[in-house]
């Protein structure tokens, strides 16, 4: 369950959240099961954050940092992830269908059996992943 204090900081805006993250690098934020649907989260620093079962549907995560993030069963319906960095994260079985994945960096992330059907203008950087592990039609 999401930490209420950390959700309050996020509610203050991206600058407040990113400043708090810079001042508290040893804290691993817990936003699990939070409803962040349709939020403007451009440039947010969610690195090393627990986003398990978080709803990010229709959110704008352009240029977001999602490295080393727990993304198991995170909901990404029509999420904008343009130019996001999602390195060293586990996206196994995650449904990214309908997301804007232009220029996303998935360096060293696990995309096994991830659904990329219907992604807009798919131009992603994938390292250490084999094509047969992805569901791309």
Whether 94 shows a pLDDT value over 70: the answer reads yes
Q: Alpha-carbon distance 40 to 48, whole Å?
A: 20
The H or E element that residue 11 is part of is helix 4-11
Confidence of residue 127 (pLDDT cuts 50, 70, 90): very low
Number of domains observed in the structure of the chain: 1
Whether 124 shows a pLDDT value over 60: the answer reads no
Digit-coded pLDDT (tens) for 49-79: 999 999 999 999 999 999 999 887 899 999 9
Residue 130's pLDDT is 43
Q: Alpha-carbon distance 125 to 43, whole Å?
A: 19
* Partners of 125 in the β-ladder: 105
Residue 115's pLDDT is 84
Digit-coded pLDDT (tens) for 95-123: 888 899 888 998 888 888 888 887 755 55
pTM of the model: 0.85
Q: Encoding tokens for residue 133?
A: 């592990």
Indicate which CATH number applies to the domain containing 130.
2.160.20.80
Domain around 104 = 1-137
Whether 24 shows a pLDDT value over 50: the answer reads yes
């Amino acid at each position: 369950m999401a930490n209420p204090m950390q959700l309050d900081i996020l509610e203050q805006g991206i600058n407040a959240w990113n400043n708090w993250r810079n001042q508290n690098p040893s804290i691993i934020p817990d936003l699990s099961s939070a409803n962040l649907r349709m939020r403007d989260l451009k440039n947010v620093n969610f690195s090393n954050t627990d986003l398990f079962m978080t709803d990010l549907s229709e959110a704008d995560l352009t240029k977001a940092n999602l490295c080393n993030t727990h993304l198991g069963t995170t909901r990404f319906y029509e999420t904008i992830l343009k130019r996001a960095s999602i390195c060293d994260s586990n996206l196994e079985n995650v449904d990214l269908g309908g997301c804007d994945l232009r220029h996303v960096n998935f360096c060293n992330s696990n995309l096994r059996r991830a659904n990329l059907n219907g992604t807009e203008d798919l131009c992603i950087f994938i390292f250490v992943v084999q094509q047969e592990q992805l569901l791309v039609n």
